[in-house]
Amino acid sequence: MAAPFEELDPLLHSQLRLAVMSLLLGVREAEFTFLKEKTGATAGNLSVQLGKLKEAGYLTMTREMNGSYPLTRCAITPVGVTAFETYVQALQRYLKPPEST
């Protein structure tokens, strides 16, 4: 008999990374400063966590210059959308485990 609880994606099972993915799911693309403001994270911590999400293929990052200021945009990828949806479905099974028969 299979266990009713599957392993949660450890990459998304982090408060900051989960918050970033939730935000991006709603807007699809956001600037670094928007994500920093909405999550309350420090620039350094957010940068590290975005790098982990990018490395996993969950988001893309583009950097450009806006005048003399660097501008970083993050966008959720189809892989990221699928990973997020799978994570949420697995979490829902934790909240409502199947009844034993």
Q: What does pLDDT average to over the chain?
A: 91
Cα(13)–Cα(46) distance, integer angstroms: 15
Cα(10)–Cα(42) distance, integer angstroms: 21
The pLDDT of 30-42, averaged and rounded, is 97
Under the banding of pLDDT at 50, 70 and 90, the label for residue 57 is very high
Q: Which pair of tokens denotes residue 98?
A: 């199947």
Under the banding of pLDDT at 50, 70 and 90, the label for residue 1 is very low
Please report the domains of the chain, with CATH numbers, ordered by start residue: 15-90 (1.10.10.10)
**What pLDDT, on a 0 to 100 scale, did the predictor assign at position 29?**
95
The pLDDT of 78-100, averaged and rounded, is 88
Predicted model pTM: 0.86
Under the banding of pLDDT at 50, 70 and 90, the label for residue 6 is confident
Residue 97, pLDDT > 80, answer no
Cα(54)–Cα(90) distance, integer angstroms: 22
